[in-house]
Structure 1
Amino acid sequence: MVGTVDSAQLTVVSFNVNGVRASRRRGFDRWLVGRDADVIGLQELRCPVDEVGEFPGYTASFDVGSIPGRNGVAILTRVPPAAVRTWVSHPPKARGLGAYATHGRYIEVDLADEPVTVACLYLPKGGLPAELQRPGSMREKPDGGAKYQRKTDFLAGFARELDRNRLAAKRAGREFLLLGDLNIAHVEHDVTNWRPARKMEGFLPEEREWLTAQLSPRRLVDVVRRLHGDRPGPLTWWSWAGESFTKDVGWRIDHQLATPGLASRARWVQVDKEPSPDERLSDHAPLVVGYERSP
């Protein structure tokens, strides 16, 4: 379902398109016109610069990264942004993130029509620690915990970088909003089958503890959970396999985390889940939040 635009509100979307070219073949452009949002953060563009394409009605700020067919983030804005920063133009200062500077995982813009800095992140998926890896029971070949350690190191560095960027926005008189596929489900309500998920990447105790540490009433607020309440959902990702989508067996790994002032102006949340599997644009669905504009 797609809502109508309210000029008194700022409609913001986070959407992992899982390849913008593939998503377009499935109907992304129709969704974009129908949704008519103000700000859209996209993850996993997975294409070179000359194949990103145009987004009529929007200014597209993006970083496709240097790894062919991987990663890539973008922020689409109705009004051209006042400033754009990527990890190429503004390398991360936190130790451990330098290796990711050219990977197309982070971008942020200063909105020109609202005192808000919007950031878009595609966080590494990671893997299991070595002690949880069981040959024959994994989709991927055991790696001794290498991908798990890679994600753990990224999280440690990004926590420092996130704090720095949030405070920089505050000094500039701006609220801060982080959009993205964080590849972490935070609480039990974020996963349909949460008990077995406790030993799966994306819902490991240490990953959930990391996300908890980023949230507080004075720092960042999980806007979606605040609006949706203490109940299951809203889910944003379903496996392509089986009947996960039809039976609504999925995860919420897509997030909107806002500084308290902006979070207090969030009024509604909606997931643009398609009516049927054949109409899916991605293995994720757009996560949409409506915020009241600043006075």
Structure 2
Amino acid sequence: MDLDTTAEADRVRGLWQELGLPGLVDVHTHFMPDRVLAKVWAYFDAAGPLVGRPWPISYRTEEDERLATLRSFGVRAFTSMLYPHKPGMAAWLNSWSRDFAARTPDCLHTATFFPEPDAAHYTRQAVQDGARVFKSHLQVGGYDPNDALLDPVWGLLAEAGVPVVTHCGSGPVPGKHTGPEPIARLLARHPSLRLIVAHLGMPEYGDFLDLAARYPGVHLDTTMAFTDFSEASAPFPPSELPRLADLGDRILLGTDFPNIPYPYLHALESLAGLDLGPQWMRGVCHDNAARLFRLFES
């Protein structure tokens, strides 16, 4: 997809400037080793089983250009969401993301894990190395978050207060361990976890809002929600909008950049179109994540 990112950047910046914000914080962006990202893009191109439909990549450019695009949009802080799909990958991915964060100061140092015997060891090492956020992808990884091999990992992250962005909803295609029930069991054992439910828990929106209401450490990110692309297959129930407004201090901007089949601007305009008010938008687009991650503090 060919996009005029210069013109788009002007409109994106105009949106947050009208809200009186200094910029955006996007908690769900993807930066990975080149060969891993190339495989991810090939999977989307082929509309693989975990994708389930045509999915053109809007920002298929080199790493430096993708970084420049985010910065031109006024994104002050973002993540390098990456995840393993098999054992033996996570420690290597964490090493790459540590180096990426070191050379990319506006990226929150991101790490990941997989249920394997050394998971607690490399997770502890990542936290010691300064990881600010972790990614857990239950759909792609195909694992149960309650796997005994992960119990020390969750305990460590809960104790350290490090947020974990978790793709646990059953969209776009259900997995063996997706849906609210495995996460409900996890939170019952680790109620202090700072868990960020990706995609607002799409399509089980109401169930994950229930969990957020029950556990104060649970947040939700807006990744792909409310866009035309997602509304066509997994519409957000209008009846849940009041609860989304009430939980406004725990909703965080996420986009899935660069792996989105529409312009970045569309994600922001879709949120603005909910008409939940400028205070809600300011929290979602910047202030909630800035508070959660203690960003920009002097």
Tell me whether the two structures share a fold, i.e. TM-score over 0.5.
no
Q: Which has the higher helix share?
A: 2
| TM-score (ref. length: structure 2) | 0.41
| TM-score (ref. length: structure 1) | 0.42
Q: Which has the higher strand share?
A: 1
